[in-house]
Amino acid sequence: MDPITPAAIDPPANVLLVHPKRTEPDACEQLCHDDGGTAHLAVTFADEEPDCPDGTVVDGKHGQLTVGNVLTADESEPDFDRPVVTDSVTDPTDLSAIGVAVSRFCKHWSEADEDITVCFDSLDALLRHTSPKEVFQFTHVLTNRLASVDAYAHFHFDPTRHEDRVVSTFGTIFDAVVADDDADESLPEATDEEVATLLAEWENEPSYDLTPDASTEATDEDIAQILGK
């Protein structure tokens, strides 16, 4: 994996942001690419409802998708015409529901001709509940979905928690890899052969469609069918 700086990335793109989980990298804010008027989606895994910005002071639109057993203040259907939109998925193992929820934001915001940025924090949270193979396939489908609406998305990933070959294989999904300064010495050094072997294992009888047409606008039902087991 050859990391680059956020400034070297030309949006739209899907980016893997690698850093130790204990840090909050400056690159996250840079990758949000918010210069005003952007529709930004934050996907977080939490045990309590996260704080959302005040809708009266938001420049653009803000979406908050919370994954986990969280009681949210608003249980109604998301209103995508509002400046701040919240949604939740209770079960972190339900990759289909997570994918459909993200896709719903993409659908409504892209139809409104919004510039979309996404912060997905984090792949490690998915891997605590689901196998690397399933998370890899899900991430492959999701990044294609985000690419279909020209989103500028980044996914947090802690390289110190996984085998080098696992991190390197996940890196093949993304357009670019950005490393926090604290992660430079921990970047994986897996060989091409190791990555190819793992890819062959994960692509054997896949439970998800790994090659959706990124140029086609998929509906929520399409995404559910792609991600359904």
∠ CA 40-43-49, nearest 5°, is 110
Residue with tokens 């949000």: 32
SS3 118: strand
Whether 1 maps to a domain, the answer reads: no
- Find the CATH number of the domain harbouring 20: 3.40.50
pLDDT single digits (tens) 126-143: 999 899 999 998 999 999
Please check the confidence at residue 219 and state whether its pLDDT lies above 80. Answer: no
> Which residue did the predictor score with more confidence, 22 or 202?
202
Whether 7 maps to a domain, the answer reads: no
156, 192 Cβ separation under 8 angstroms: no
Cis peptide preceding 122, ω within 30 of 0: yes
Domain enclosing residue 39, as ranges:
12-227
- Residues of the chain with pLDDT > 90, as a percent, come to 43
Whether 63 maps to a domain, the answer reads: yes
Whether 6 maps to a domain, the answer reads: no
pLDDT single digits (tens) 29-59: 889 876 666 899 999 998 656 666 665 566 7
- Residue 207: predicted pLDDT: 52
pTM across the whole model = 0.84
> Which residue did the predictor score with more confidence, 174 or 24?
174
Whether 199 maps to a domain, the answer reads: yes
pLDDT single digits (tens) 162-198: 888 898 999 999 999 998 766 555 566 778 888 899 9
pLDDT single digits (tens) 92-104: 999 988 999 999 9
Whether 187 maps to a domain, the answer reads: yes
CA distance 174 to 154: 9
Please check the confidence at residue 217 and state whether its pLDDT lies above 50. Answer: no
Whether 163 maps to a domain, the answer reads: yes
> In the chain, how many domains are there?
1
